[in-house]
Each structure stands twice: as structure tokens, then as C-alpha cells.
């Protein structure tokens, strides 16, 4: 007995698939990969530049800062005040009636991690001047904190607005202690 096989004559292979189906699927896949490769430079250009990423955080060592001393560091192009507060400054900040403040905030909300360290962005919330009071010889105002030289806004030892035209407290940036004396701002 002889066996006969039939050869499809219409271009169909096993299961009803044609060469045309194969070519369509192959061209769709190739087009999708090509579009992805072509779009990658545009998508990658939306990532922040290396210099911007470098400014996103600032690391400081607070070990050399003596009790009662204040320093200024730069974070994202803005001055940041780091104050190693004395126990007297902490007590004075805690004794303030929060309800009497223009922008109410307890001292515990301002010095969020360790009460002896106050870290705030040093830009007056009125018109953007840099308040004085970082050096012992500068005018710290009636509340022993910071005083803006532009329009006279005065902040207390928790950097809360107490007098003058500024509407809000000096902002507290995001920061964390990464070691006993190492702080990362941002």
C-alpha cells in the first residue's frame, strides 16, 4: 500500500497559519522594538541632570558645632540654618503659647528629630530675604532667634514668626540623621 500526502496549495501551513500571518506578526514586533528604541532618547532626556541630582541632598557633620552655635549650609541653592540650641533656647521655645502664634507650631513639630538641633531653610517667608542671627554679633531680634533685615520680621529660637510682616514660620526641610553626628538634608 502506498500512502499519499497532500501538499497545501493555498499557502496555508499546519493549523491554518499563512506566511502572510508570519510576516505581519514579524513586522509588528519589529516596528514596536524600533519605536521603543527611537523613543528612548526622549524619555531619558526627562530624567534630572547629574548636577541637579548632586544638589538634591546635602550631607553635613554636626559634631564640630558647639552648643549655642549656628551655621549656614547650602541645599538646592538655598541657605539652610543649622542651630545647636542651648537648653535655655529649647525651654524658651517650649514655653510659648502656640495659640498666640500667627503660624501655630509647637517646638516639637519644628525640631522634629532631636530637640537640640533645629534645621530650617533660611529664607524669610515675607519677600525672600535672608534673616540675620546666625552670628552672635548679628541682631537676633526680641525673641533671640532671627531677624530679617529687609522688613523687620522676627523669628524665635524655634524659627517661628513672632513679629513683622512674614506670614509663615521658616520652613523645616526634610532631613534625617544618618549617624550620631551625620545629617542628610533633602
pLDDT tens per residue across span 79-99: 999 989 888 988 888 888 888
Instruction: Examine residue 77 and state whether it is found in any structural domain, yes or no.
Output: yes
Active site positions, annotated: 151
CATH number for the domain that contains residue 140: 2.102.10.10
Instruction: Examine residue 2 and state whether it is found in any structural domain, yes or no.
Output: no
Q: How many domains does the chain have?
A: 2
Q: Which three cell numbers stand for residue 134?
A: 546666625
Instruction: Examine residue 1 and state whether it is found in any structural domain, yes or no.
Output: no
CA distance 124 to 119: 14
- pLDDT per residue over 23-56, tens digit each? 899 999 999 999 989 998 888 888 877 766 666 7
Q: Tell me: do 62 and 37 sit in the same domain.
A: no
Instruction: Examine residue 142 and state whether it is found in any structural domain, yes or no.
Output: yes
Q: What angle do CA 171, 177, 178 make, to 5 degrees?
A: 140
Q: Tell me: do 99 and 82 sit in the same domain.
A: yes
* Per-residue model confidence (pLDDT) at position 8: 55
Q: Tell me: do 86 and 167 sit in the same domain.
A: yes
Q: Which three cell numbers stand for residue 22?
A: 508570519
Eight-class DSSP state of 29: H
CA distance 82 to 74: 11
Q: Burial level of 129, CB count in 10 A (0-12/13-18/19+)?
A: middle
Q: Tell me: do 108 and 130 sit in the same domain.
A: yes
Q: What percent of the chain has pLDDT over 70?
A: 88
Using the predicted structure, report yes or no on whether residue 6 has a pLDDT greater than 60. Answer: no
- pLDDT per residue over 107-152, tens digit each? 887 776 888 888 899 888 888 888 888 888 888 878 888 888 888 8
Q: Tell me: do 116 and 153 sit in the same domain.
A: yes
Which tops the pLDDT comparison, 3 or 98? 98
Q: Tell me: do 145 and 81 sit in the same domain.
A: yes
Domain extent, residue 125, equals 52-185
CA distance 14 to 48: 52
Amino acid at each position: 500500500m502506498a500512502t499519499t500526502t497532500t501538499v497545501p496549495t493555498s499557502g496555508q501551513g499546519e493549523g491554518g497559519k499563512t506566511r502572510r500571518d508570519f510576516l505581519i506578526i514579524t513586522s509588528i514586533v519589529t516596528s514596536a522594538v524600533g519605536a521603543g528604541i527611537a523613543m528612548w532618547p526622549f524619555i531619558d532626556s526627562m530624567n534630572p541632570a547629574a548636577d541637579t541630582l548632586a544638589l538634591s541632598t546635602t550631607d553635613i557633620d554636626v559634631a564640630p558645632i558647639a552648643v549655642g552655635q549656628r551655621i549656614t549650609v547650602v541645599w538646592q541653592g538655598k541657605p539652610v540654618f543649622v542651630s545647636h540650641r542651648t537648653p535655655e533656647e529649647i525651654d524658651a521655645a517650649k514655653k510659648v503659647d502656640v495659640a498666640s502664634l500667627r503660624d501655630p507650631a509647637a517646638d516639637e513639630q519644628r525640631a522634629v528629630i532631636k530637640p537640640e538641633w533645629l534645621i530650617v531653610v533660611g529664607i524669610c517667608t515675607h519677600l525672600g530675604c535672608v534673616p540675620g542671627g546666625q552670628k552672635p554679633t548679628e541682631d537676633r531680634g526680641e525673641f533671640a532667634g532671627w531677624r530679617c533685615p529687609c522688613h523687620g520680621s522676627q523669628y524665635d529660637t524655634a524659627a517661628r514668626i513672632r513679629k513683622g510682616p512674614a506670614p509663615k514660620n521658616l520652613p523645616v526641610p526634610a532631613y534625617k540623621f544618618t549617624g550620631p553626628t551625620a545629617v542628610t538634608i533633602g
